[in-house]
Amino acid sequence: MAARSLQCAVCEKVLNRRSQLRTHLFAHAGDKQYACDVCGRKYTEKKNLVIHSRTHTGERPFECSSCPATFTSSETRRRHMSTHTGEQPHQCNICGRRFAWKSSLASHALTHSGKKAFACHVCGRKFSRRDNLQCHARTHTGERSYACHLCPAAFAHLNTLKRHLANHTGERPHKCEVCGKTFTARYILSQHKNIHSGVKTFSCQFCSRKFSSKKGLSRHTRTHTGQKPYFCHLCPAAFSQWISRSRGLLAYEILHKSTRAAEPLPKRLAWTLDHRGLQGNERS
């Protein structure tokens, strides 16, 4: 059967099996009779409600046979296994990013198509994929359900937590053959290579500027939207970039050390503290 026959005509998502496509179509029909008792979210199938409910209970009954990771569903575990085998046979012919699943590649391809059918009801920003819209929505709600077990940090997205964990382990197995820079994920390396090739495939929807990586585009887009998705776990401060958050945390920690030791605060950190009024609050 041709792959196109398994593509949803509504959202263009590609499914691996006809039965999956048939089940997926219920999501567009609006018939969601199974509601979560905790948050009210609704589902077309009871099994999806059961999987979702585990995000509230913390139950993760599916264990990886190669590492301590656990999952809420067998499908999530199956996809995780590809991280151990390293097999990613499906490559995007535009940006070079590779995927373990053909359906993941097809879903990713929508980011290059320019079609953005999913709009945020808060700020109006549009997305090519529904899951990207759902991730974006958390920047408005402040939901940060993925917590690091090694430090107080918490994140809105699972992938962000995974990248954060690499900061603790120091593991950066993917190395650029041109400059020697190392990365925590293969797709980040693929995007990094565009810097050397000069290819800029990611365009800003607000202006004509282009970028070699999706991360660069996302960082730039926030200069238009004013979004500040990175929150400090020590104070109410929010930041548009992770590096700004890191500087804020460093300044906060040094401030506490300086006040305890009755030492003057380093001048180079004054700008970080002044915008939150931390220096005055701590020393009053």
* pLDDT tens, position by position, 128-147: 777 778 888 887 887 777 78
Token pair, residue 180, equals 């020697």
pLDDT at 134: 82
pTM of the shown model: 0.36
Which tens digit of pLDDT belongs to each residue from 167-192? Answer: 787 778 788 888 999 887 777 787 78
Which alpha helices (DSSP H) does 124-157 contain, by range?
130-141
CA distance 252 to 59: 35
Counting DSSP H helices and E strands in the chain, the numbers are 12, 16
Among candidate residues 120, 179, 156, the one with its CA nearest the CA of residue 238: 156
Residue 282 has pLDDT above 50, yes or no: no
